[in-house]
């Protein structure tokens, strides 16, 4: 649609946003893909509506704070990007918009403090681990707290596990067939250390040497997507320095959100001197499931021990895997490669589980509704096991599955593979 954005927001980010708005033909094909539209049924809380709102604000036709509540409700799940027939880069639009609007908006002191805490704790695993422990002890107080504080507490596991630092080098078992770099992630290390341990075991078992380069940090996605562009740039540059793409066959992530973040580096550095480096880096980034599926397709994946009984696995598509990275077939193929496993499709599978990024903290009511809806749909398939490839989805689904009084285990895809290799499935 026509717009005057570059006239009002000159520069690279203005161009990025104008291009996205231009490409939208307001057909509405994205509406059914949007979780907030599914809950609220109004146009302002749909992707098409948000595009219009951003356009109006950027052109000066609408005060930012009038549009903000609707834009803040966007999960950034990218369901709309998958659905859009015109290829509108909605993700680039909202990310650029959040960066542009953050310094121009008002927030209550409470919101400001909360944002600050999130932005500081997420990228710092140790700090996050401490916070999680504090949170764990605060759990009994939960009923007394306002919802905004209660929901994140609900997500914490009963027992916050001890941190398990990953070794700098995990050698391949048997003849070495490959060498990869691994991004260990932040919050995940504190909440689910076994994801990384399982990843290292499965890769080693397949003859892959895994290096955890020193100096790596948070991928920066959380900062970027909440509008903290400067913080994000610092994190991005640190990772570009830590990983030399020429040294590795691939740069792997086992968290869908982080993987998507790493793949976004060229967009973040668009028009800056580091853009070429970012491209070379992003070209090597793969989700763990993409990489292992490559082995599987080449006939090079080590066979797994059959499950001890026929096992129905409901696979949940993490938005940042399915929509942001377009990885849908690989994890399913890997799970199916385990003898005895059937993969179940979840109704409404394309809709976000409600935990995207910091959503549980920012929009607890909607996050809870989406979590309940997701858990209900997953459980309707009567699975023996639930698998997914993202820490955020994992905690959200686990929490809501428990709340619906189900004991079905929730695992990372790679944990399932790891169990199969050990003959414990």
Partner 1 sequence: MSPEKQALTSTSSAHTPVSEGRSSNALAAALTRALGARKVLSNLSERLNYRYDAIQFGVTPLCVLLPESTADVVAVMRAARAAGVPVVGRGAASGLSGGAAPMVEAVVISFTRMTRLEIRPERREALAQPGVITLKVSEDARPHGLVYPPDPASFRTSTIGGNLGENAGGPMCFKYGVTGDYVKALEFVDADGDVHQLTRDAYDLAGLLIGSEGTLGLITDATLRLSTPAKYTRTLMAHFPEVGQAAEAVSSAIAAGAVPSKLEFMDQACTNAIEDYLHLGLPREAGAVLLVDTDGDDLHTVEEERALVEQACLAAGGQVRRAATDAEAAALWQARRSVSPALGRIRPQRMNEDIVVPRSALPEVVREIRALGDASGLTLVQFGHIGDGNLHPNILFNPRTESAEAVHTLAHEIALVAIRHGGVLSGEHGIGTMKRDFMRDAVDPVTLGALRDVKRALDPTGALNPGKILPDDVAGGLHAHP
Cβ distance to partner 1 smaller for residue 19 or 177: 19
By the rule CB under 8 A, 139 interacts with partner 1: no
If one asks whether residue 75 binds ligand SF4 (CB under 6 A), the answer comes out as yes
Token output for 171 = 């050698």
Least distance (Å) from ligand SF4 to the CB of residue 402?
25
244 binds partner 1 per the rule CB under 8 A: no
Contact (Cβ atoms closer than 8 angstroms) between residue 210 and residue 84 = no
Question: Smallest distance from the beta carbon of 352 to ligand SF4, in angstroms?
Answer: 6
Q: Which of 86, 176, 308, 382 binds partner 1 (CB under 8 A)?
A: 86
Three-state DSSP at 178 gives strand
- Between CA 76 and CA 100 the distance in angstroms is 16
CA distance 174 to 207: 6
Q: Minimum CB separation from ligand SF4 for residue 346, in Å?
A: 17
- Could you tell which of partner 1, ligand SF4, none binds residue 78, using a CB distance below 5 to 8 A set by kind? ligand SF4
Name the binder of 67 from ligand SF4, partner 1, none, CB < 5-8 A by kind: partner 1
Q: Are strands 285-287 and 311-316 parallel, antiparallel or unpaired?
A: unpaired
Residue 105 in the binding site for partner 1 (CB under 8 A): yes
Identify what 259 binds: partner 1, ligand SF4, none; CB under 5 to 8 Å per kind: none
String marking each residue 42-61 x if it binds ligand SF4 according to CB under 6 A: -----xx-xx----------
Which residue do the tokens 């793969």 mark? 286
CA distance 16 to 96: 7
Q: Which does 74 bind (CB under 5 to 8 A by kind): ligand SF4, partner 1, none?
A: ligand SF4
* Cβ atoms 284, 251 nearer than 8 A: yes
Residue 53 binds which entry of partner 1, ligand SF4, none, CB below 5-8 Å type-dependent: partner 1
Told to check if 84 binds ligand SF4 by CB under 6 A, we report yes
Q: Is the CB of residue 360 less than 8 Å from the CB of residue 348? A: no
| CB closer to ligand SF4 out of 41 and 423 | 41
Pairing of strands 410-412, 285-287: unpaired
Pairing of strands 385-388, 341-344: unpaired
Distance of CA 260 to the CA centre of its chain: 7
Figure out which of the listed residues 34, 198, 353, 419 binds ligand SF4, where binding follows CB under 6 A: 34
Residue 24 within binding range of ligand SF4, rule CB under 6 A: yes
Among candidates 154, 243, 160, which has minimal Cα distance to 194?
160
CB of 28 to partner 1, least distance (A): 4
Q: Taking CB under 8 A as the rule, does residue 186 contact partner 1? A: no
Between 55 and 412, whose beta carbon lies closer to partner 1? 55
Nearer to partner 1, 44 or 425 (CB): 44
- Listed in order, strand segments (DSSP E) in 317-361 are 341-344
Tell me whether strands 169-170 and 410-412 are parallel, antiparallel or unpaired: unpaired
Quote the distance between the C-alpha of residue 289 and its chain's center: 14
- Cβ at position 90, least distance to ligand SF4 in Å: 6
Tell me if 337 sits within 8 A of 416, measured CB to CB: no
3-state secondary structure (DSSP) of residue 425: coil
Sign for the CA dihedral angle at 135, 239, 415, 357 comes to positive
Q: Which is nearer to ligand SF4, 224 or 292 (CB)?
A: 224
Under 8 Å CB-to-CB from 146, ≥6 apart: which residues?
Answer: none
Site size toward ligand SF4 (CB under 6 A) is: 27
Among partner 1, ligand SF4, none, partner that 245 touches (CB below 5 to 8 angstroms by kind): none
- 110-116 — which CB contacts under 8 Å span 24+ positions? 114/148, 114/361, 115/226
Task: State which of residues 8, 29, 305, 337 lies at the interface with ligand SF4 (CB under 6 A).
Answer: 29
- The residues in 267-286 that bind partner 1, with binding defined as CB under 8 A, are none
Q: Name which of residues 18 to 77 contact partner 1 (CB under 8 A).
A: 22-23, 25-29, 31-32, 41-44, 49, 52-53, 56-57, 59-67, 70
CA atoms within 13 A on the CB side of 170: 23
Helix (H, G, I), strand (E, B) or coil at 195: helix
Per CB under 6 A, the list member of 80, 121, 295, 370 interacting with ligand SF4 is 80
Q: Which residues bind partner 1 (CB under 8 A)?
A: 1-3, 22-23, 25-29, 31-32, 41-44, 49, 52-53, 56-57, 59-67, 70, 83, 85-87, 104-106
Binding site for ligand SF4 (CB under 6 A): 24-30, 33-36, 47-48, 50-51, 74-80, 83-84, 86, 88, 90
């Amino acid at each position: 649609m026509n717009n005057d954005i570059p006239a009002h927001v000159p520069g690279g980010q203005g161009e990025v946003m104008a291009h996205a708005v231009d490409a939208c033909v307001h057909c509405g094909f994205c509406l059914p893909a949007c979780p907030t539209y599914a809950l609220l049924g109004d146009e302002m809380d749909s992707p098409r509506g948000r595009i219009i709102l951003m356009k109006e604000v950027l052109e000066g036709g609408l005060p930012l704070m009038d549009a903000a509540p609707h834009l803040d409700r966007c999960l950034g799940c990218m369901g709309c990007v998958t659905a859009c027939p015109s290829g509108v880069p909605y993700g680039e639009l909202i990310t650029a918009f959040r960066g542009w609007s953050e310094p121009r908006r008002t927030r209550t002191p409470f919101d400001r403090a909360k944002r600050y805490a999130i932005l500081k704790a997420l990228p710092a695993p140790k700090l996050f681990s401490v916070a999680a422990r504090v949170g764990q002890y605060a759990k009994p107080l939960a009923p007394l707290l306002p919802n905004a504080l209660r929901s994140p507490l609900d997500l914490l596991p009963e027992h916050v596990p001890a941190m398990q630092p990953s070794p700098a080098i995990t050698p391949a078992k048997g003849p070495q067939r490959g060498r990869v770099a691994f991004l260990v992630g932040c919050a995940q290390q504190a909440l689910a250390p076994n994801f990384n341990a399982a990843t290292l075991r499965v890769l080693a078992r397949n003859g892959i040497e895994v290096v955890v380069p020193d100096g790596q940090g948070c991928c920066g996605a959380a900062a970027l997507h909440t509008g903290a562009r400067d913080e994000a740039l610092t994190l991005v540059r640190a990772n570009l320095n830590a990983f030399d793409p020429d040294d590795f066959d691939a740069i792997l992530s086992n968290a869908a959100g982080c993987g998507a973040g790493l793949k976004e580096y060229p967009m973040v550095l668009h028009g800056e001197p580091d853009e070429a480096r970012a491209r070379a880096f992003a070209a090597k980034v793969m989700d763990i499931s993409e990489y292992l599926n490559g082995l599987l397709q080449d006939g090079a994946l080590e066979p797994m021990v059959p499950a001890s009984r026929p096992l129905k696995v409901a696979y949940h598509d993490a938005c940042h895997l399915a929509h942001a990275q377009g990885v849908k077939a690989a994890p399913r193929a890997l799970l199916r490669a385990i003898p005895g496993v059937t993969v179940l499709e979840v109704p409404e599978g394309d809709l976000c589980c409600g935990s995207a990024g910091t959503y549980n903290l920012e929009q607890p009511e909607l996050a809870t509704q989406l979590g309940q809806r997701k858990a209900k749909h997953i459980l309707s398939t009567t699975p023996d096991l639930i698998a997914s490839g993202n820490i955020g989805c994992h905690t959200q689904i686990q929490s809501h599955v428990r709340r619906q009084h189900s004991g079905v285990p929730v695992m990372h895809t790679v944990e399932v593979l790891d169990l199969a290799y050990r003959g414990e499935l």
